């Protein structure tokens, strides 16, 4: 049985100090994963978002494996840089930005359908709420 990969990823990020306390951020393991922040705190948030977007769009959506993270000790940095690990959760990212809907066909007893239609129940909304509750996700 194939195990589905974890949606939690940790990769090293290089923070480069710019002018006025700002930082540019790059991920050595991804050539196209770059971002910036107004300060370290903002940079950390932006780095998490950029990493989640890159992994989700370039790997998970393509059904490819993300690269193995480089050891932080092997990354060369300049005097105005530091390297730290950034963690991201692509499930959290998908919930926040994934708006694509999928159509599901299901069967329910006719009497239940009639009662729900009579009460103007939104079937999609009820199913989403029930699934979130069952899966303990928000």
Q: What is the pLDDT of residue 1?
A: 40
* Predicted structure pTM score: 0.70
pLDDT less than 50: residues of the chain: 1-3
Q: Give the model's pLDDT for residue 128.
A: 82
The phi-psi region of residue 133 (left if phi > 0; otherwise alpha if psi is between -120 and 50; otherwise beta) is alpha
Question: What is the 8-class DSSP label of residue 137?
Answer: -
List, as one string, the DSSP characters of 30-47.
-TT-EEEESSHHHHHHHH
Residues 51 and 78 grouped into a single domain: yes
Is residue 76 classed as helix, strand or coil in its secondary structure? Answer: coil
Report the CATH number at residue 66.
Answer: 3.30.160.250
Q: Work out the burial of residue 86: count CB atoms within 10 Å of its CB; fewer than 13 is exposed, 13-18 middle, 19 or more buried.
A: buried
- Whether 3 is covered by a domain: the verdict is no
């Amino acid at each position: 049985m194939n195990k589905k990969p974890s949606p939690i990823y940790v990769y090293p990020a290089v923070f480069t100090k710019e002018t006025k306390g700002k930082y540019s951020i790059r991920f050595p393991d991804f050539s196209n994963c770059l971002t910036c922040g107004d300060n370290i705190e903002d940079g950390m948030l932006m780095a998490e978002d950029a990493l989640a977007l890159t992994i989700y769009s370039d790997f998970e959506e393509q059904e490819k494996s993300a690269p193995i993270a480089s050891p932080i000790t092997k990354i060369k940095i300049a005097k105005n840089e530091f390297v730290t690990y950034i963690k991201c959760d692509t499930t959290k990212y998908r919930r926040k930005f994934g708006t694509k809907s999928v159509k599901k066909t299901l069967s329910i007893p006719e009497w239940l359908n009639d009662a729900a239609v009579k009460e103007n129940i939104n079937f999609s909304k009820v199913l989403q709420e029930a699934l979130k509750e069952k899966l303990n996700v928000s």
